[in-house]
Amino acid sequence: MEENQLDFLSALIETPSPSSGEMLAQQLWIDYLKPYADRIETDAYGNALAFLHPEGSPKILLAAHIDEIGFQVQYVDDRGFVYFTTVGGSDPLLARGQRVRIHHGGQPVLGVIGSLAIHLQEREGKQEPPKWHELFIDIGAQSQKEALERVSVGDLITYDSGFSPLHGTLWAGRACDDRVGAFVVAEAFRKTALRREKLAACVIAASTIQEENGLFGAAMVGYSTHPDAALVVDVGHATDIPIADKKRHGDVQLGKGPILSRGSVNHPLLVHRLAEVARAHQIAFQQGIDPRRSGTDADAIFLQRGGIPTAALGIPNRYMHSPVEVVDLQDLETLADWLSLFLGSLRPEERFHQRW
């Protein structure tokens, strides 16, 4: 990966933007695509759209969500300790002892989620995971009044974790879900724009909001753009670790290529066409399944306007929804190239409709 692409990816991941507070990461994404887009639009809730060859056909939507999981301040007690609730799906077993940032008026406030020292714990019997309302953040305040001078009820919170090389092309950090997807969509758009003279299709790249809260931005974008087909990029579970059961969750490995899934929302003709392009260009990909739903923005998009042919593509990700998610940069580059080649292969009359 070239240095400017890696700089963009790192900035995107390290910029805190939990669900309902996506504007900082969204601005980075918009600024990156401006030189390549025919136009940029945002909607009422902050979804961002970049258009390429808007008069083209078919109209293809590339989508990934920009938001991340996090927390939100709910209560400050009389001693200045901050209680919070979740934004998106987090694991309470990971929370104790973590550093966090409370985002207050553009000024991040450092805090730590309190943890009772092991010496003081009663460890008889099975240890139950803490309930979220039992956890608190220590910001060093001495009173409620002092704490409320620095934070407010409603402030969003993220883990204080950056994006760092682990080894080789493996990198670790918070919010890979789904900033790596937003990066891939931006890169696929950029690569396609650089060879637009051969492009028949209209391409709309979307960076959606509030996926972690319920696929909300995707529903808005699917309705407003009404594409002929949609490709959704999100992370998928890498199971190449000792504690993952492949018999239950399948075999997905970092560095072996992106995931193309079958079933549920994944339109069979679109999946077939993607696989055809991958094989023609010797692009490695892994097979996944979505027997009931994909768990991605695809679930909201495919339902819009009487049905939009949609496929969900995954980037293998270890330790999802943790402060230490791990991805392989090669998988990101492979998927961006694959999407760009697919877009370039489309014919003006091409549609993905089931017919009998």
Active site residues: 211
For helices 268-280 and 329-345, the axis angle rounded to 10 degrees is 110
CA distances from 155 to 51, 87, 283 (A): 33, 11, 44
Contacts 24+ apart (CB under 8 A), 31-34: 32/8, 32/186, 32/190, 33/186, 33/189, 33/190, 33/205
**SS3 at position 159:** strand
Which residue intervals of the chain are DSSP H helices?
A: 3-14, 23-33, 144-148, 176-194, 216-225, 246-249, 268-280, 298-301, 329-345
Residue 82: other Cβ atoms inside 10 A: 30
Residue 351: which residues within 8 A CB-CB, separation 6 or more? 58, 228, 229, 309
Look up residue 140 and give its amino acid.
Answer: G
Contact indicator for 163, 324 with CB cutoff of 8 Å? no
Burial of 25 (0-12, 13-18, 19+ CB in 10 A): buried
- Reported in sequence order, the residue ranges of the chain that DSSP labels E, i.e. its strands, are 39-42, 48-52, 59-65, 70-76, 82-87, 99-104, 107-113, 136-138, 156-159, 163-167, 170-173, 202-208, 229-237, 259-262, 286-289, 310-317, 325-328
What is the rounded distance in angstroms from the CA atom of residue 343 to the CA atom of residue 225?
17
